[in-house]
């Protein structure tokens, strides 16, 4: 009996190890404060936080356990002068933070509901009209609160996002073998994410809301949007614009059924060489994951396009992520493309001067040649043929 249990645990470890080593995870970190010399940094990113995690002691602030209600915070993270776009420079497990070389936390403040609503409203109102937008980031599996905050700060800086960043962080334990717990915690957070999105749309005054979700966070996002649509307001009073899913750890068949309810266009970043999703597929009954499709899956791409899904194939993009699961943040050109997507009125699928630089110049390796014209490797032909 013990040998059987050990074998099950060993098999689970073999299946989940690549997921844990992907961009979602890493060595445990906290949010210890660091004094920063302005000469050592290129800027500071302010992130507002809504969390379904249970509150913990400093410098952890939020644990991997489930909280009974939403909690809120504000974090300021400096970007080092040595930063390279697409990289998340952090010290080793026992290293000391050097603000000139590493992302560093300069301020953390837990805030009650009424004060944070007022502060975010002021942040939005202080921006020019075209920048009064909120970007909500929903992280993936095996991600601590600190890991999610650092990664989001890097994305915001590298994409040159000008609006207000809001991190929605759910109770991931940040542990390799906690995949089932994390998955249930993601589902546990559906109502809270919907509540948060409705509050942003109604109470904070943004011109629009964009969502960027990664890996298992895409399951949470899709379930939330599905139930919001069933309730009759899936676009949150007309405020929801971009929904971007990066390396979605979602069953392809399930995604198709969810898209029957969601009326908002969705952009999906995929990569056929995503090793983490390959192992996830084996763990999930050998069913293909949405994030692992590619341009060669022409029938699937065409079918998804009819539901308003644009597929961006990153299979040819190379990054420092050995498992190819975090390309959306680890590739300088791709994260810049996301920034341009957030700034553009007509979206990633648009080509030509109205979008600015050609996608080939922005994200080399994401461009293919079809019929002699440059276009995105995938998305429905009608969406990518220049008008």
Measured CA to CA, the distance from residue 204 to residue 156 in angstroms comes to: 20
Specify the pLDDT at position 133: 96
State CA 271 to chain mean position distance.
15
Q: State the pTM of this model.
A: 0.83
Pairing relation of β-strands 266-270 and 240-246? Answer: parallel
Name residue, tokens 């009209």: 129
In degrees, to the nearest 5, what angle opens at C-alpha 276 toward C-alphas 272 and 279?
95
pLDDT at 171: 98
Average pLDDT of the residues in 131-154: 96
* pLDDT of 284 strictly over 50: yes
Paired tokens of 294: 């590619």
pLDDT score, position 324: 56
CA dist 125 → 73, 120, 165 (Å):
19, 9, 14
Q: Give the pLDDT mean for 167-177.
A: 92
Average pLDDT (334-341) is 81
Measured in whole angstroms, how far is the alpha carbon of residue 197 from the centre of its chain? 15
Token pair of 77, please?
Answer: 């993270």
Instruction: Label residue 232 left, alpha or beta by phi (over 0 means left) and psi (-120 to 50 means alpha).
Output: left
| Residue 45, strand partner residues | 77
* Between 130 and 13, the higher pLDDT residue: 130
Sheet of 104-111: strand order equals 104-111, 62-80, 41-55, 164-169, 133-138, 208-214, 240-246, 266-270, 309-313
User: Are 267 and 310 in contact, with CB atoms under 8 Å apart?
Assistant: yes
Cα angle for residues 227, 328, 200 (degrees, 5° grid): 40
Distance, C-alpha 244 to centroid of its chain: 8
Give pLDDT, residue 22: 42
- Please state the three-class secondary structure of 45-95 as a single string: EEEEEEEEEEECCCCCCEEEEEEEEEEEEEEEEEEECCCCCCCCCCCCCCC
- ∠242-166-125 over CA atoms, to 5°? 90
Query: In sequence order, which ranges of 217-349 are alpha helices (DSSP H)?
Result: 217-231, 252-259, 275-283, 298-305, 327-330, 332-343
Question: pLDDT grade, residue 6 (50/70/90)?
Answer: very low
What's residue 352's pLDDT?
27
Domains of the chain and any CATH numbers: 2-350 (3.40.50.1820)
For 138-152, 290-304, 335-349, which range has the lowest pLDDT when averaged over its residues? 335-349
Low-confidence winner among 73-82, 151-160, 183-192, 257-266 (lowest mean pLDDT)? 257-266
What sections of the chain are H helices per DSSP?
Answer: 2-21, 113-125, 145-159, 179-188, 190-203, 217-231, 252-259, 275-283, 298-305, 327-330, 332-343, 359-362, 381-384
> Is residue 144's pLDDT more than 60?
yes
Q: For all residues of the chain together, what is the average pLDDT?
A: 81
90, 25 Cβ separation under 8 angstroms:
no
């Amino acid at each position: 009996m013990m040998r059987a249990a050990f074998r099950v645990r060993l098999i689970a470890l073999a299946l989940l190890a690549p997921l844990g080593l992907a961009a979602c995870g890493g060595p445990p970190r906290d949010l210890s404060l660091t004094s920063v010399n302005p000469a050592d940094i290129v800027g500071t990113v302010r992130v507002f936080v809504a969390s379904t995690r249970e509150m913990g002691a400093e410098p952890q602030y939020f644990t991997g356990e489930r909280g009974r209600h939403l909690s809120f915070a504000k974090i300021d993270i400096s970007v080092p002068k040595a930063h390279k776009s697409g990289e998340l420079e952090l010290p080793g497990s026992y290293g000391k933070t050097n603000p000139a070389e590493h992302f560093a936390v300069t301020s953390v403040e837990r805030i009650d509901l009424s004060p944070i609503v007022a502060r975010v409203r002021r942040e939005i109102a202080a921006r020019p009209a075209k920048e009064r937008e909120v970007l909500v980031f929903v992280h993936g599996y095996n991600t601590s609160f600190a890991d999610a905050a650092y990664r989001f700060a890097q994305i915001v800086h590298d994409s040159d996002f000008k609006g207000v960043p809001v991190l929605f962080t759910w109770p991931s334990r940040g542990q390799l073998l906690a995949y089932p717990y994390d998955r249930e915690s993601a589902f546990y957070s559906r109502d809270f994410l919907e509540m948060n999105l409705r509050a942003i749309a109604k109470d904070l005054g943004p011109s629009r809301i964009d969502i960027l979700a990664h890996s298992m966070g895409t399951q949470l996002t899709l379930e939330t949007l599905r139930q919001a649509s069933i309730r009759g307001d899936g676009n949150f009073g007309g405020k929801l614009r971009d929904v971007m899913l990066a390396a979605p750890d979602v069953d392809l068949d399930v995604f198709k059924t969810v898209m029957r309810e969601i009326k908002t266009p969705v952009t999906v970043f995929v990569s056929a060489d995503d090793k983490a999703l390959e192992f996830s597929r084996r763990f999930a009954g050998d069913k293909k994951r949405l994030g692992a499709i590619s341009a060669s899956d022409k029938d699937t791409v065409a079918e998804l396009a009819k539901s308003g899904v644009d597929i961006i194939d990153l299979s040819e993009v190379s990054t420092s992520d050995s498992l190819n699961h975090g390309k959306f943040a680890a590739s300088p050109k791709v994260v810049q493309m996301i920034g341009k997507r957030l700034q553009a009125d007509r979206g990633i699928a648009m080509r030509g001067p109205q979008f600015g630089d050609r996608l080939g110049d922005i994200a080399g390796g994401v461009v293919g040649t079809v019929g002699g014209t440059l276009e995105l490797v995938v998305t429905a032909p009608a969406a990518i043929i220049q008008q």
